Amino acid sequence: MVKNLLLALALVPLMAFSAEEGKLDTAPVNSYDNISLQRGARTFVNYCLTCHNAMYMRYKRLEDLGLTDQQIKDNLMFAVAKRVGDTMTVAMDKNDAKDWFGTTPPDLSVIARARGADWLYTYLRSFYRDDTTHTGWNNTVFPRVGMPNVLHELQGTQVLKTEVETDAQGHKHEVQKLVLESPGTLTPVEYDMMVADLVNYLVFMAEPEKTFRITLGIYVLFFLAIAFVLTYMLKLEFWKDVH
């Protein structure tokens, strides 16, 4: 117990430092929006599943988003899987991936629970060109990350520029900002919407039963409320003649 307490105290400065690093944007996720989740699943299999596994997610779970087996097979199964019941795995060899990227791309099954939706939403919109890295890309949320910006054709190319701003007290200070140097096939608003759909799907994939669990919880609370009223009325009936 003492060891755990010391570890927690040691992590406090790190947590404070992380909070001061930068403000995360709020991810506009909605776990009940099946259309958004379907679009996110499409983006995931087209751009993420080429390098990253999702070994704890089966294509069959996409039926929860309103898709049929045939729709899943025709539109979302482009990796090594042959059956809808298979997991989302890629054919890329782990050793090859480590040689190309410097590390094996992490499994994304529960990345939303590990990092959080806001972190993912900000991260996927914060890549910029940096010739000093081996991939040619960098990220303001995850500095010197080994992953290149696989969505750059959609987003365009951003660069990190330093600007001088003056605060309310008249003090000047430097601020680093991401600037879109060359546009992609999507407008910035369209790209943000696409990333929001992708993050929405990653949140779903990390906990597919979440919406069912919440809905069941509401039904249980409703049932308990009715049971409480009936129990209280029964109690009054039993004790009405007791003085």
Q: How far apart are CA 180 and CA 197, in angstroms?
A: 21
Same domain for 218 and 135: no
Residue 196 has pLDDT above 90, yes or no: yes
Evaluate if residue 207 carries a pLDDT over 80: yes
Range of the domain at 102: 25-208
**Beta 127-129 vs 87-88: how paired, if at all?**
unpaired
Q: Provide the number of structural domains found in the chain.
A: 2
Mean pLDDT of 24-38: 95
Same domain, 231 and 180: no
- Statement to judge: residues 146 and 220 lie in one domain: no
Look at residue 180 in the predicted model and tell me its pLDDT. 94
Positive/negative CA dihedral, 125, 178, 143, 132: positive
Give the whole-number percent of the chain exceeding pLDDT 70: 90
Q: Are 54 and 134 in a shared domain?
A: yes
Residues 6+ apart with CB under 8 A from 99: none
pLDDT of residue 118 exceeding 90, the answer is yes
Judging by beta carbons within 10 Å of its beta carbon (0-12, 13-18, 19+), is residue 240 exposed, middle or buried?
A: exposed
25: which 2 tokens?
């944007």
* pLDDT tens column, 56-85: 999 999 999 999 999 999 889 877 778 899
Q: How far apart are CA 139 and CA 178, in angstroms?
A: 10
Q: Are 226 and 140 within one domain?
A: no
Instruction: Summarize pLDDT for 89-103 with one digit per residue, the tens.
Output: 887 777 777 777 777
Q: Could you tell me if 107 and 227 lie in one domain?
A: no
Residue 155: give its domain's CATH number. Answer: 1.10.760.10
Question: Please, are residues 107 and 54 in contact by the beta-carbon 8 Å criterion?
Answer: yes
- 105 lies in the same domain as 177: yes
